[in-house]
Structure 1
Amino acid sequence: MTALMKPATSNWSRILRRRTTMTKPRKSQPARRLLTFAEPRLRFGFEQLLEDPKDGLMMFGPPKKLHGIHYGVIGTPDGIRQFEAWAAKIKQAVPADPKVGSSITYPGFEAVFRTAWDDAPRVKIEVDPDELNSKVKLTDPHQRVYDTVELFSKPIIRWVEEEDPKVALWFVVVPEEVWKLCRPRSIISKAEGVAPEVALSHSKAIALLEEPDLFDEANVAAEKHLFENHFHNQLKAKLLGCEAITQLVRQTTIAPHEYLNSKGERSRKMQDDATVAWNLTTGVYYKAGEKPWTLADIRDGVCYIGLVFKRTNNPLEAKEACCGAQMFLHTGEGIVFKGAVGQWASDKFGEYHLSEEKAEDIVRRCVEAYKNLHNRQPPREVFIHGRTRFNRDEIKGFRKGAPDGTSVTGIQVLRPNDLKLFREGRKAVLRGLALKVDQRNAFVWSAGYVPHLRTYPGREVPTPLKVKIVFGDTKLEQVIADILALTKVNFNTCIFNDGLPVTLRFADDIGEILTAIPDVTSKPLPFRHYL
């Protein structure tokens, strides 16, 4: 990737505030200069290159067009009615909100993506409101979430495996009660709650998992405690086996005017209607099978791997964690691999390390997937992004997993929040600034003032990413340029840039899905299944 670098101009303050305590003063060091990197460009239809995804989509459309999108919807009768009204609405222009400076008129789905949009779903599945109400009010949170998810997952799985016609994706219309009561730490009052047939505390359920009860009903109820009590994550995990792609939408998002408070205002704070349309439909287009844009200047033959770690829900193994890998190509295409489950968690909180064998296996699987997409040609470069520093066994394994002729570079990316840079005046620092500490370490401002937008799309003082080359010979400037480019391929929304590279942006979310149920499929699946 090409990167424009030059010394920071004189209007930038040289006040760097480190929240560290120095035991004794250091000797004077040569002043370091800030580097600026050009804003990465995106590729749209007709090979046009622009910085802003909204500009590119409005003027040129995506690089490749879908021939229509067929979708299904599942929800309560009210939810389906609200969804159909919203689906008809986004076929037309949605005006910008004059009270919101960042709001931009949404021209309509077909105008943006050059793809036919049916305002009626191909498949409709209704969830019985009474049955849903009985499940979502269960006092045991694990049974409550498990049983509620089953009302949505079972019909989708049955349709995918047994019925026609097929659809590209499913809209899951989530009632507000499900959203509020089917998440971790959700609580329902005794007055509203419904006691399950088998009442179990979490500790009792764990005891039954070790020593099963004579009655199967109690054992079945106990097994539900192995599932994460989070509706979104558990539903996504259960649908990986049948490879159903979903887009979850809250009823309050698509029909906000039906949910008003006593003052006649929307019951929850949310983005304006035009911004909601931009973000939701961009994700829908990607999940339906095509990318709304691709990176323009990134090099061919490059493979990026983001490592994911998440402790499992196994109460008997405190250090047990699942490792996953997200592979991304220069086109923005992504594939998720479920790695091995093992004792990867260390005594240090938030730190995980693989064995040499498992580290080798992850890189080998990613390289094999790359070759399948590129006429059996391996990548020239592999970059591994992680939050924890790689140890010797991991580095040795990563290198062994790559074929001869493929270079491997390991990058640690953190957001430590121990460095602030202030600009003279009222504007935030520029996005794309970098403070090079040495040849392997730098602070990178992936968020900041964007001249094209004439604003900083944030609230707090921008915090830089701390980038460290742990192993490998790639130049630091190239690593920074790549990371900035990877902040522009979050296809789950339509924004100018994200604060983190896509290799790590969804690491926590993917980890949650990979550990949400005991038996998640190990089959590599496209990244869109996890969004």
Structure 2
Amino acid sequence: MMKVKVLKEPLLEFGNGTHICPRTGIETLGVYDKRDELRRSELRIGIVGRGEGVDLLDEWLDHCKRGIPSKVDNKFPNLFKGFGGISEHYGFFTRLLSSPQYTRTLQKSEINKIAKITSREDRVVKCVDLYYEQARFISENRSVDVIICVVPNDLFDSLTKSSGAEDTELVDRYMEHNFRRLLKARCMHLGIPLQLVREKTILSVKPSIDQQDLATKAWNFCTALYYKGNRTVPWRLVEDKFKPRTCYIGIGFYKSRDGETISTSLAQVFDEFGHGVILRGAPVSIDKNDRHPYMEEGQAHDLLHSALAEYENALMQKPARVVIHKSSRFRDTEIAGFSQVLDAKGIATRDFVSITSTDIRLFSAKEYPPARGTLLSLTEREGVLYTKGIVEFYKTYPGMYIPSPLRIEMFDSDSSLEDIAKEILGLTKMNWNNTQLDGRLPITLECANKVGDIMKYVDASQKPQVSFSFYM
């Protein structure tokens, strides 16, 4: 029998307590890792950009250090929260350090040369070369924790136009699908995470419809910078001491750049801390009937065996439970391969969970959309979960479009549907690239997707970085 229930918003743990909201938690309780007596209290920032862009970024960093008030006429103070600043005495308990010695300025003549290249693909490659050489110099000659690449407006425009004319796709997709991903893949071996920003979005006093207000932008920017530079976590999920120690694994698929092969990308979360590792899988098979990728039994076995080896190496013990999130339905061959590994290791408790999109929607005579956390149980093993929706803490629905819920389907599962949905809801809050509390996908799949986007540009002979900070 179908039933509807609204799940409670999962709590997050910070330095001095718990809260449901990342921003309020950091502001009032401090970042989680401040309890670590050996933590570092400063972030050294390298910068690559043209002179005007570097000046804009310096000004923006000063704003972030001092703090930024919430937007004018703010009707939703919990949603549009002012940013109190980043310093060693408050919130992040960290200093941002930048200097001309850690800055590499791009020559305008080089930028102009790239803009004049006829082929957009060639412009992207030359632009990646330009930024890579400066990032390489900083990584090899300066002690920095993260490198910020500031992209000029005219250079950005030249990367989002083809043969002098606008493409029909959104211009941002070229930046996302080519330059950003190729640059991150190219710089991966340097061992320093990158943060990319565009001049046109820095200190934009009147944000466009697709831009955030300055305070929200500062929250997301500084949190991502903190996570990337410190290699630590600003918050974590509250640990349930009554649950067995769990290893969460997310599996996605990505196409090669030539479109000829499809491989698995795997993101593994060791525990509630969010500590994990990124692994690259092997090319997989394609179903001739529905054209969907899947793993043969041996491929599934090898992937999970490698993942658990990383887990045991990190925590020096086996997990008592394994949860696998997959962005498509599980095939019999995959279940057989995974089960073979778990049986051999004596891990009895397991949950294989498919998380996909669905056309099912819930409607109410009182309010729409449904509340975040609304779970529609279709059967004991299948349901629909709203991870986007009205958020009571915000007193509104914070999205622009009709929210699309997730379809949850359980295969060979030892847990209840409600328990699995609660875990998924909690894991949507573990993306340190976004401080709004209502992520759509659990970090297992969010990370696996982002890894796949960049992994296709990483040469097969190159060992990819294992930290999410290099892919976000």
Deviation (angstroms), 1:431: 1.3
- 1:143 and 1:134 map into 2 onto residues whose CA distance is 12
Larger of the two Rg values belongs to structure: 1
Q: Structure 1 residues 99, 300: CA separation in 2 closer, same or farther (over 3 Å shift)?
A: farther
- 1:350 and 1:74 map into 2 onto residues whose CA distance is 43
Any idea what SS the aligned residue of 1:112 has?
coil
Instruction: Provide TM-score, normalisation by structure 1.
Output: 0.79
The amino acid across from 1:80 in the alignment is V
* 2:202 equivalent to 1:296: no
* 2:194 equivalent to 1:246: yes
Conserved 8 A contact 1:241-1:520: no
Any idea what SS the aligned residue of 2:67 has?
coil
Q: Structure 1 residues 104, 515: CA separation in 2 closer, same or farther (over 3 Å shift)?
A: same
- 2:348 and 2:48 map into 1 onto residues whose CA distance is 46
* 2:463 equivalent to 1:515: no
- Of residues 512-521 and 123-132 in structure 1, the stretch that sits farther from structure 2 once superposed is 512-521
Aligned to 2:133: 154
Any idea what SS the aligned residue of 1:309 has?
strand
Deviation (angstroms), 1:120: 3.9
> What is the alpha-carbon root mean square deviation over aligned residues?
2.3
Conserved 8 A contact 2:119-2:163: no
- 2:225 and 2:372 map into 1 onto residues whose CA distance is 28
Mapping for residues 64-463 of structure 1, pairs under 5 Å: 64-65=33-34, 66-101=40-75, 102-110=79-87, 111-118=90-97, 120=99, 123-160=102-139, 162-163=140-141, 165-183=142-160, 186-189=161-164, 230-256=178-204, 269-288=210-229, 289-298=231-240, 299=243, 301-314=245-258, 317=260, 320-328=261-269, 329-340=271-282, 342-347=283-288, 351-374=292-315, 376-402=316-342, 403-416=345-358, 418-463=359-404
Q: Structure 1 residues 435, 427: CA separation in 2 closer, same or farther (over 3 Å shift)?
A: closer
Conserved 8 A contact 2:46-2:138: no
Deviation (angstroms), 1:240: 1.5
Q: Structure 1 residues 138, 509: CA separation in 2 closer, same or farther (over 3 Å shift)?
A: farther
Conserved 8 A contact 2:69-2:215: yes
- Of residues 420-429 and 240-249 in structure 1, the stretch that sits farther from structure 2 once superposed is 420-429
Q: Structure 1 residues 426, 388: CA separation in 2 closer, same or farther (over 3 Å shift)?
A: closer
* 2:22 equivalent to 1:53: yes
Conserved 8 A contact 1:306-1:327: yes
Deviation (angstroms), 1:182: 2.6
- Of residues 506-515 and 445-454 in structure 1, the stretch that sits farther from structure 2 once superposed is 506-515
Aligned to 1:225: none
- 1:300 and 1:117 map into 2 onto residues whose CA distance is 39
- 2:54 and 2:198 map into 1 onto residues whose CA distance is 11
The amino acid across from 1:34 in the alignment is V
Instruction: Provide TM-score, normalisation by structure 2.
Output: 0.89
Conserved 8 A contact 2:246-2:321: yes
Q: Structure 1 residues 85, 57: CA separation in 2 closer, same or farther (over 3 Å shift)?
A: same
For residues 3-61 of structure 1, the C-alpha deviation after alignment (integer angstroms, 9 at most, x for no partner) is xxxxxxxxxxxxxxxxxxxxxxxxxxx5x321221110000012x01111111111111
The amino acid across from 1:430 in the alignment is A
Deviation (angstroms), 1:244: 2.0
- 2:399 and 2:267 map into 1 onto residues whose CA distance is 27
Deviation (angstroms), 1:94: 0.3
Structure 2, gaps ≥5 residues long: 35-39, 167-175
- 1:297 and 1:90 map into 2 onto residues whose CA distance is 31
Identity of aligned residues (%): 27
Any idea what SS the aligned residue of 1:244 has?
coil
* 2:38 equivalent to 1:38: no
Any idea what SS the aligned residue of 1:435 has?
strand
- 2:43 and 2:403 map into 1 onto residues whose CA distance is 39
The amino acid across from 1:396 in the alignment is A
Any idea what SS the aligned residue of 2:469 has?
helix
The amino acid across from 1:41 in the alignment is L
Q: Structure 1 residues 406, 92: CA separation in 2 closer, same or farther (over 3 Å shift)?
A: farther
For residues 396-450 of structure 1, the C-alpha deviation after alignment (integer angstroms, 9 at most, x for no partner) is 211223321353321110122x212122324532211111111110111111111
What is the aligned residue count? Answer: 447
Conserved 8 A contact 2:284-2:299: no
Deviation (angstroms), 1:349: 6.1
